[in-house]
Structure 1
Amino acid sequence: MNLLLKEIRHNPILWLLAIVPVVFAAQKLKPEAHTLLFILSVLAIVPLAVLLSHATESVAAKTGDTVGGLLNATLGNLTELIIALAALRAGQYALVKASIAGAIVTNTLFMLGASFLLGGLKHHVQEYNRGSARLQACLLFLATVALLVPSAVSGADSTAGSVFTAKLSVCLSVLLIAAYGLGLLFSLKTHRELFGGAEHAEAGEVPWPMGLALTTLAGVTVLVALVSEVFVESVQQAALSFGMSQAFVGFVIVALVGGAAEMASAFSGARKDRLDLSVGIALGSAAQIALFVAPVLVLLSYIIGPAPMSLQFWPGVVIMMIIATMTVSLVTNSGRSAWFVGVLLLLVYLIFAITLYLLPPPVV
C-alpha cells in the first residue's frame, strides 16, 4: 500500500483521482447535467487508466508480456463491455454496434499506430513477435468475415428476414466464442513457445508486488466500470451539445474512453521498448472484442435486451473493419516497426474519424 501511495504522490496525473468521488456526487446531485457529467467522467477515467497501466506492467514483469497483454486487454475490455451492456439494456443497439466496431478499429489503428509512433520517436527501430501479431490478425480477419456475412446475405437476398438473421447471428456467435477459446489454447498452452517476447524493462524500474498489483487491478477495474456507467448515461446528450453525430459518438468517443486503460499501458510499454506488450494489448483487445465481447452481447440480448440483437452491421462500418484488419495485417508482417509506420496507421484512423464526424444525421 505504501508503494501505491508513493506512486500517487509523485505522479501529478494521479492527483485527478480526486475527481472520482466528485463524479458520483455530481450524478446524485445533478443527474440532468449531462455535459458536466460527461466531462467529469472522462477526466476521472484518465488517472484510473494510468493506475491500471502501472499495475498491469507489474503483473507483466512477472508473467511475461504475452500473458500481461492478454490480462490488460481483458480488464480493459471489461469497461467497454459494461458500457455496451448499459446501452443494451436501454435498447440502444445502434450505439452498441457502433461501439463494437469502433473498439475494433480504434485498437487496431489508433492504439497500435500511436504505440508505434511513441516508441519509434524514442527508439530507432523496434522489434516484436511477428507470429503473435499474425495470429491475432488472422483471428480478426475471421471475425470480420463473420460480421460481413449477415450484412451481405440480408443485402443480397430480400427474402432473408429478421428471424433468419437472428438465428444466423446466434450460430456465428457460438462459433466465434469457440474460435477465441481455441486461439487462447493455442497461444498460451500447446504452442506458447512460439509467442514469447523479449523483455525490455528499463533499468531502475521496480515492479509492484504481485499481491498489490492484482488488488489494484481489481479495485481500479470496479471504479472504471462505475464511472463508465455515468459516462454512458451522459454521452448521448453531451454529444448533442458538442454537435457530434451518433455514429461518431459510438465509433470514436465511446471507443477511446472505453479503451483508455489499455492505451495507457500500450503507450507506456512502447516507450520502454516493450513492443510485444503494446502489440499484445492492441491486437489482443481487438480480437477479444470481435470474437468474444460482440458474440456475448448478442447472446445476452436475449436475456437483458428488449429484443434480440443481430450481428448485422451497416455496410460502411463493415468496410472500415475489413480495411483496418487488412492494414494491420500488412504492417505487422515484418515484426519490425518505426515511427512512420505508426503515422500511416493513424492517418487511416483519422480518415474514418473525420468521415463519421462530418456524416450528416439521418433524416427522421
Structure 2
Amino acid sequence: MRTLEAKRSTTQPRSAIETVVRELRRSPLLALIFFVPVVILLERMAPEAHTLLFFVAIAAIVPLAALLSRATESVAAKTGDAVGGLLNATLGNLTELIITLAALQAGQYLLVKASIAGAIVTNSLFMFGGAFLIGGLKHHLQEFNRVNARFQASLLFLATIAILVPSLTSGLDRTPAGEFSQQLSLGLAILLIAVYGLGMVFSLKTHKELFASVGQAEAGEEPWPLSIGIVVLIVVTLLVAIVSEIFVGSVQAAAQHLGLTPAFVGFIVIALVGGAAEMTTAFSAARANRLDLSVGIALGSAAQIALFVAPVLVIVSYFIGPQPMSLEFWPGAVAMMLVATMAATLLSNGGHAAWYAGVMALAVYAIFALTLFLLPPGVTQ
C-alpha cells in the first residue's frame, strides 16, 4: 500500500511551480523565456534603441506564446474544444487589443485599421490554412465540425459587411468632421457587439450540442490540472501585455529604420506577432488531430476581432483618441477582408481538411503580403 502511494506521489506534481519548471525543461523553445526580463530591462536602460527592442520583443513573445498554448490546451481538455477555442481566441486577441489601444491613443488610425484588417486576414488565411497544412501532413484526411466552422464564417462575413458599408458610403459624407461616417460607425459598433454577445449565448448555451467536436484526438501529453492552467494563463497574459506595450513603443521607429510601410507593419507584422500564441495552439492542435480546436481558434479569433475588438476600439476612441475613429477602411483592406472571408467559408464548407487546401489558403495570404510589402508609402493614406 505504501509502495502504491509512493508511486502516486512521484507521478503527480507537488506544486504549480514544479509543474511549470518541468515544462520549461521539456520544451527547448521555452529557453527563450529569458528574453522577457531582458526586453523589460532593455526598455528601461535604452528606450531609444527601437530596432533592438523590436526584435527582442518578438523573441520574448515566442516562449510566452508556447506557454500560453500549453496552458490553453490543458484548460480545453477540461472544458471542451468549443470553450477552449473561445478562451484561446480571447486571450490571444488581448495582444492585438493592447497594441491597437496604444496606437489609438497616439492617433495612428492607419496603423489601428491595418492591424484590425491584418488580424482578420491572418487568422482566416494564414492560421486557418497553416492548421490544414500541418495537420494534413501528418493525417491523410481530417474531419471537423462544419456547423461550428460555418457559424464562425457567417459571423465574420456579417462583420465584413458592416465594415464595407461605411467605406462604400464615405462619398456621401460631405461634412468637414465626417459626422455621418462617425455616427454610422458608432451605431454599427453597438450592433456588432450585441450580435457577438447573442452568438456566444447561441453557441455556448442554447444550441451548444451543435458545436461538439467530431475529430478523434490523439493521446498527447498529460494536461495540467485546471487550477494550474488558469494561473499560468493569467500570469502569461500579463507578461504578454507588458511585452506588447514595449513592442508598440518601438515598432514605428523600427519600421521606418527597416524601410517598412505602416500598412505592412500593421497588416502583417503586428498581426503575426500578436497572434503568435493562438497560432502555436492552433498548429499543435491540428497536428494532434484536434482540428475543431484549430478551426475554433482561427475563425473564432477572426470573428471576435471583427465583431468585438474593432467595435470596442470605435467606442473607446471617443474617450482616449484625438478624435472618434470610424469603421471606414481603405478599399484594398476591404477587398482583402472580403476575399479572406470567402476563402474561409469555402474551406469550411465540407467538414474535411487536407494539406493542399492549406497550401491554397497560404498562397492567397502570400499574395496579400507581397502586395503590401511592395506598396509605395502613402497609397493607403
CA contact (8 A) 1:82 1:225 kept: yes
Deviations 1:74-113 (A, max 9, x none): 0000111001101011111110000000000000000000
Match status 1:235 vs 2:251: yes
- Cα 1:204/1:289, change in 2 over 3 Å: closer
Equivalent residue for 2:349? 333
Residue 145 (structure 1) aligns with: 161
Structure 1 stretch 276-285 or stretch 198-207: which is displaced more?
Answer: 198-207
Superposed, 1:1-364 pairs within 5 Å as: 1=16, 2-155=18-171, 157=172, 159=174, 162-198=178-214, 200-362=216-378
- Cα separation, partners in 2 of 1:204 and 1:165, compared to 1, 3 Å: closer
CA contact (8 A) 2:113 2:329 kept: yes
Partner amino acid, structure 1, of 2:195:
A
Are the structure 2 counterparts of residues 174 and 158 from structure 1 closer, same or farther at C-alpha, using a change threshold of 3 Å?
closer
Is there any run of 5+ residues in structure 1 with no aligned partner, and where? none
- Deviation at 1:163? 0.5
- The alignment partner of 1:198 has SS state of coil
Of structures 1 and 2, the larger Rg is shown by 2
**CA contact 1:65–1:199 (8 Å) conserved in 2:** no
Between the two proteins, the alignment pairs up a number of residues equal to: 363
CA deviation after TM superposition for structure 1 residue 194, in Å: 0.4
- SS of residue in 2 equivalent to 1:103: helix
Aligned to 2:12: none
Provide closer, same or farther for how the CA distance between residues 204 and 321 of structure 1 changes in structure 2, counting only shifts above 3 A.
closer
Q: Percent identity?
A: 65
The structural deviation recorded for 1:250 is: 0.4
CA distance in structure 1 between the partners assigned to 2:370 and 2:210 by the alignment: 39
Paired residue secondary structure (1:178):
helix
CA contact (8 A) 1:153 1:160 kept: no
Q: Is the 8 A contact 2:146 2:349 kept in 1?
A: yes
Residues 160 and 350 (structure 1), Cα distance of their counterparts in 2 relative to 1, 3 Å cut: farther
TM-score (norm 1): 0.98
In structure 2, C-alpha distance between the alignment counterparts of 1:308 and 1:101, rounded to whole Å: 18
Structure 1 position 160, deviation (Å): 6.2
Instruction: Give the secondary-structure state (helix, strand or coil) at the position aligned to 1:292.
Output: helix
**One-letter identity of the residue aligned with 2:77:** A
Equivalent pair of 1:110/1:349 in contact (CA under 8 Å): yes
| Shift in CA distance, 204/74, structure 1 to aligned 2, threshold 3 Å | closer
How far, CA to CA, are the matches of 1:220 and 1:304 in structure 2? 26
**Cα pair 1:64 1:199 within 8 Å, conserved:** no
Partner deviation per Cα, 1:281-333 (whole Å, 9 max, x = no partner): 00000000000000000000001111100001001100100010011101110
Alpha-carbon distance, 1:12 to partner:
1.1
- Paired with 2:198 and 2:164, the residues of 1 have a C-alpha distance of 22
Instruction: Give SS of 2:169's match.
Output: helix
Cα drift, residue 213 of structure 1: 0.2
- Tell me which amino acid in the other structure corresponds to 1:307: Q
Aligned partners of 1:70 and 1:53: how far apart in 2? 13
Structure 1: how far apart are the matches of 2:90 and 2:203?
15
Are the aligned partners of 2:173 and 2:181 in contact in 1 as well (CA < 8 Å)? Answer: no
One-letter amino acid of the structure 2 residue matched with residue 81 of structure 1: L
Shift of 1:158: 5.3
Decide whether the 8 Å contact of 2:217 with 2:290 is kept in 1. Answer: yes
CA distance in 2, matches of 1:154, 1:163: 11
Once superposed, which parts of structure 1, at least 4 consecutive aligned residues long, lie more than 6 Å away?
A: none
AA aligned to 1:256 is: L
Residue 281 of structure 2 aligns to which amino acid in structure 1?
S
Higher mean alpha-carbon deviation, 240-249 vs 44-53, is at 240-249
Task: Give 2:11's aligned residue.
Answer: none
Supply the AA of the counterpart residue of 1:59. V
Q: Quick one: structure 1 residues 3 and 164, their matched pair in 2 at CA, closer, same or farther if it must change by over 3 Å? A: same
